[in-house]
Structure 1
Amino acid sequence: MGTESVPRREVVTGRPHTPGGGRILPPPVPVAAPGPAGPDGDTAVRALMRRQMRAALTATALLAVPLGLLPVLLRVLPFAGTAPRVPPALWLLLGVAPYPALLGIGAWYVRRAERNETGTPAPAERP
């Protein structure tokens, strides 16, 4: 039981690189210089973030308020405590009505977000 050599652990992620016959690596990609870090750049980014947050909160409110109040509406309606037979209007209200609203609000949000993104100049374009 003397001194046994423990093999060194290595993480292998690909073929080993050998000086004479290993892989040929592509040339390094130049990294673009960061945009101007000043009050103008920070202000534009913060304004974009505020517009995106406003659009997200508006879309959330437009979805959450009607869908969140739907159970309250169903509880208040006169046929809430009646027999197990459910009127077809209720099935339409539950099964069909929310989907056009979801699609419309989603489309509005995507258009608003894209407009916010295109309306803000990229860091390289700022003076």
Structure 2
Amino acid sequence: MGAESVPRREVVTGRPAADRAALPRTAAAQPDDDPAVGPLMRRQLRAALTVTLLLAAPLGLLPVLLRMLPLAGNRPGVWLLLGVAPYPALLCAGAWYVRRAERNEGDVTAR
């Protein structure tokens, strides 16, 4: 056990610097190279912000509305309304957003 040769441990975090210098540098394709990407990104952002605002306003005001209505004393009714009412709105908004995003992408790829 005393005279065995133990290899030196090294921590490898990437290619050695000499190997990296020998690699050819290639220009990666940038999304800005395609002129259709900018308008597509703006249209997708507009659709996302629209859906966010259309959902945030009614769903954010739902607790305030429930507090003001006389339904506040009916605890099961409140929980049912809070637990069930948002889901149809979420499903409709999600379906609209998916259709809109696919239409935006289809418009760009059809060019």
Q: The TM-score by the shorter chain falls in which range?
A: 0.5 to 0.7
1:116 to 80, 104, 108: 104
Aligned to 1:48: 40
Percentage identity across aligned positions? 67
RMSD: 3.2
| SS class of match (2:75) | coil
Aligned to 2:56: 64
**Higher RCO, 1 vs 2 (CA within 8 Å, ≥6 residues apart):** 1
Distance in 2 separating the partners of 1:95 and 1:8: 58
> In the alignment, is residue 86 of structure 1 matched against residue 87 of structure 2?
no
Aligned residue type for 1:53? L
| SS class of match (1:7) | coil
* TM-score scaled by length of structure 2: 0.64
| Higher gyration radius (CA) | 1
Distance in 1 separating the partners of 2:60 and 2:11: 55
**What is the total number of aligned residue pairs between the two structures?**
91
In structure 2, list runs of 5 or more residues that go unmatched. Answer: 1-6, 14-27
